[in-house]
C-alpha cells in the first residue's frame, strides 16, 4: 500500500518544539511579516537570524518522541511510505525517519541568497557569514518563508497522485499548499485520515479522524 504522510508542528509539540497557531504559538508571539518572509529578511536580517538561531538551539536540545519513532517504524515496514513534513526541525531523522521531504526547508541548513549554495548551519548564523561557495556575505536560513515556493512540490504531487492513503498528523491545515494536499489525494481516489490533537481547518476534507496527542494516536495507528 502506498501511503503519503504529511506532518506539522503538532508531531514535534511533545518534544517541546512549540507550534504556530495554538494559543502560545510562534505566530501569536511574532508577526509572520516581521520574521518569516523574504522582505522581513531583507529589512532586518539580524532579527530573522536571531529567531531561527533560537529555534535551532531549541531543536538541538529537543528529543524525538514516540510519534517520530512510530513513523520511522512504519517506514521500515512493508508499506511504501512517503514522509513529507512542514516542520523545519530534524526530529524525524533523529527518530529514525528516512528520506524525509522537508517542503519548508530545514533549520540545520544554511542557504546563500546570492549563489544558492546550501551547507550545514552553524548553531548561531549571521547574514555576514561568508558563503563557502561564492564567498559573499548573503547567508540565510534554508527555510521556505511565506511568499516563497515550497521545495519538492513535483515529487510531493506525484506521490499524492499515486497513493492509496493520505495521513495528516499534527497540522492545523492553515497554510497552503500543504493544507490542500488532502483534497488532491482525495481527488485521486486515496483514503484520507487526520491524526491531530483537535479538528484542523480542513478536517471536513478527511474521511476519517482520530484525535489525541501524537505520542498516543500515532503509535496506535501504526500498530
Cell of 106: 530545514
Q: Does 118 bind ligand BV8 (CB under 6 A)?
A: no
What is the sign, positive or negative, of the torsion defined by CA atoms of 88, 28, 179, 81?
Answer: positive
Q: Of 39 and 132, which CB lies nearer to ligand BV8 in the complex structure?
A: 39
CB atoms within 10 A of CB 220: 12
How crowded is the C-beta side of 171, counted as CA atoms within 13 Å? 25
Tell me if residue 79 is catalytic.
Answer: no
Residues 51-110 that bind ligand BV8 (CB under 6 A): 86, 88, 104
Q: Does 25 bind ligand BV8 (CB under 6 A)?
A: yes
Q: DSSP assignment, residue 203?
A: G
Q: Of 25 and 96, which CB lies nearer to ligand BV8 in the complex structure?
A: 25
* Residue 76 annotated as binding site: no
Q: DSSP assignment, residue 90?
A: S
Min. distance of Cβ 180 from ligand BV8 in angstroms? 7
* Residue 196 annotated as binding site: yes
First-to-last C-alpha distance (Å) of the chain: 15
* Residue 170 annotated as binding site: yes
Write out the catalytic residue numbers: 104
Residue numbering of the annotated binding site = 52, 55, 86-89, 112, 115, 131, 134, 170-172, 196-198, 214
Amino acid at each position: 500500500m502506498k501511503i503519503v504522510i504529511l506532518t506539522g508542528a503538532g508531531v514535534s509539540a511533545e518534544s517541546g518544539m512549540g507550534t504556530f497557531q495554538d494559543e502560545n504559538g510562534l505566530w501569536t508571539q511574532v508577526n509572520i511579516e516581521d520574521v518569516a518572509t523574504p522582505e522581513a529578511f531583507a529589512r532586518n536580517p539580524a532579527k530573522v537570524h536571531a529567531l531561527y538561531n533560537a529555534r535551532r538551539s531549541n531543536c538541538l536540545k529537543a528529543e524525538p518522541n514516540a510519534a517520530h519513532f512510530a513513523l520511522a517504524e512504519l517506514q521500515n515496514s512493508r508499506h511504501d511510505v512517503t514522509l513529507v513534513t512542514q516542520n523545519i526541525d530534524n526530529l524525524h531523522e533523529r527518530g529514525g525517519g528516512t528520506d524525509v521531504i522537508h517542503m519548508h526547508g530545514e533549520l540545520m541548513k544554511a542557504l546563500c541568497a546570492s549563489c544558492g549554495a546550501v551547507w550545514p548551519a552553524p548553531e548561531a548564523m549571521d547574514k555576514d557569514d561568508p558563503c563557502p561557495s561564492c564567498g559573499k556575505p548573503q547567508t540565510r536560513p534554508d527555510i521556505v518563508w511565506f511568499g516563497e515556493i515550497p521545495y519538492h512540490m513535483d515529487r510531493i504531487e506525484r506521490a499524492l497522485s499515486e497513493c492509496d492513503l493520505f495521513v495528516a498528523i499534527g497540522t492545523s491545515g492553515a497554510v497552503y499548499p500543504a493544507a490542500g494536499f488532502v483534497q488532491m489525494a482525495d481527488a485521486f481516489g486515496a483514503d484520507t485520515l487526520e491524526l491531530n490533537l483537535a479538528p484542523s481547518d480542513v478536517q471536513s476534507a478527511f474521511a476519517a479522524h482520530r484525535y489525541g496527542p501524537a505520542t498516543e494516536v500515532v503509535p496506535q495507528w501504526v500498530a
